[in-house]
Amino acid sequence: VYLLFQALRQISQRTISTASRRQVENRVPEHQKLFQEDNGLPVHLKGGAKDALLYRTTMCLTLFGTVYAIYHLIVSSMPKKQK
């Protein structure tokens, strides 16, 4: 049992330590330049079209939710008709 455990431990250590590591390029300076650029855009829209789409979707959902909540508050404040 001990030998089996030791063999499994060596195999797991070997596969973890010899796994090929993909080098990831550091793109932080690029992003810093993009977000610090003075182009009149707010920070939450500097990411491009994807950020604009996410922003508009969020605003539409927020507006819809607000109108929906107000509508239900008005409907629930009206008395029901008696037959």
> Can you give the residue ranges of every domain in the chain?
42-77
Average pLDDT over residues 64-82: 94
The single-letter DSSP state of residue 39 is S
The pTM of the full predicted model, rounded to 2 decimals, is 0.59
33, pLDDT greater than 90: yes
Task: Give the span between the Cα atoms of 44 and 51, in whole angstroms.
Answer: 7
**Greater pLDDT, 57 or 16:** 57
User: Do residues 37 and 46 lie in contact, with contact meaning Cβ atoms separated by under 8 Å?
Assistant: yes
63, pLDDT greater than 90: yes
> First CA to last CA across the chain, in angstroms?
82
**Greater pLDDT, 13 or 3:** 3
